Amino acid sequence: MLNQIKKDLLQLGNPEKAIKLSGFFKTGKGQYGEGDVFLGIPVPEQRKVAKRYLDLSLDDLQELLRSEIHEYRLTALLILVSKYGKADSSGKDEIFVFYLKNTEYVNNWDLVDLSAPKIVGDYLVNKDRSILFKLVKSSNLWERRIAVLATFMFIRNDDFEDALRISKLLLCDEHDLIHKAVGWMLREIGKRDQEVEEGFLSEYFKQMPRTMLRYAIEKFDEDKRNFYLSRTTHKKQ
């Protein structure tokens, strides 16, 4: 089954699209996706493949995750998300632990965004969340992004406290992909309770990287966006 899913994905590859994706996901030397290899398969097509292989074992998914091929890793994560959604409590425990042991392979922003909320975030909704505060201090960019994106599930339940705590911890993060992720989560809070978001912004918006702020205030009316942007001294990013 493992060889077959690899074969199926290889057959769907599109060399021209692979070149474009390699550029879009910054795979050049020194860039955040350095070394990532693309086949050029759209995500909807990977989802179709994933649905056919939901019975793959965690050992098989481990092998896919260790591949340098991006679509192998993403398809493995899509399968893992589906398995998690159908698992009982014990199965969810196992998948959560498996995911955290394999964060080094969840190493591009789409891999994080399509898996962290639905596995890490969902698992921690009613549990101790101290692991997120370990991840947020990681030197690994993707582990920090996992911590941010996991809070999406809390936000969806109108639980904003940890999302705001993590946002505060990452105000001075140096990476643009963290700025975007934090701004996105603040925007999601604002969509549910703008007063809560603005309470956070009133205290910290002058410290926020410009990109983070722009993402956070994207849904505000023009006058309010201009209010925040005109009162910052950050250089454009």
Instruction: Return the domain boundaries, the chain.
Output: 1-95, 115-237
Closest CA to 76 of 96, 46, 103: 46
* Token pair in block for residue 208: 């926020």
Read off the pLDDT of residues 179-220 as tens digits, 9 standing for 90 and up.
999 999 999 999 999 999 999 999 999 999 999 999 999 999
- Of 3.40.640.10, 3.30.2130.10, 1.10.10.10, 1.25.10.90, the CATH number of 115-237 is 1.25.10.90
- Distance CA(65)–CA(152), nearest Å, equals 24
State the pLDDT at residue 231: 76
- SS (HEC) of 127-192: CCCHHHHHHCCCCCHHHHHHHHHHHHHHHHCCCCHHHHHHHHHCCCCCCHHHHHHHHHHHHHHHHH
Q: What does the DSSP 8-state code read for residue 36? A: -
Residue 236 has pLDDT above 50, yes or no: no
Domains 1-95 and 115-237 share a fold: yes
Which class is 1-95 in CATH? mainly alpha
Is residue 161's pLDDT more than 70?
Answer: yes
pLDDT at 154 over 90: yes
How much is the pTM? 0.94
Does residue 234 have a pLDDT over 70? no
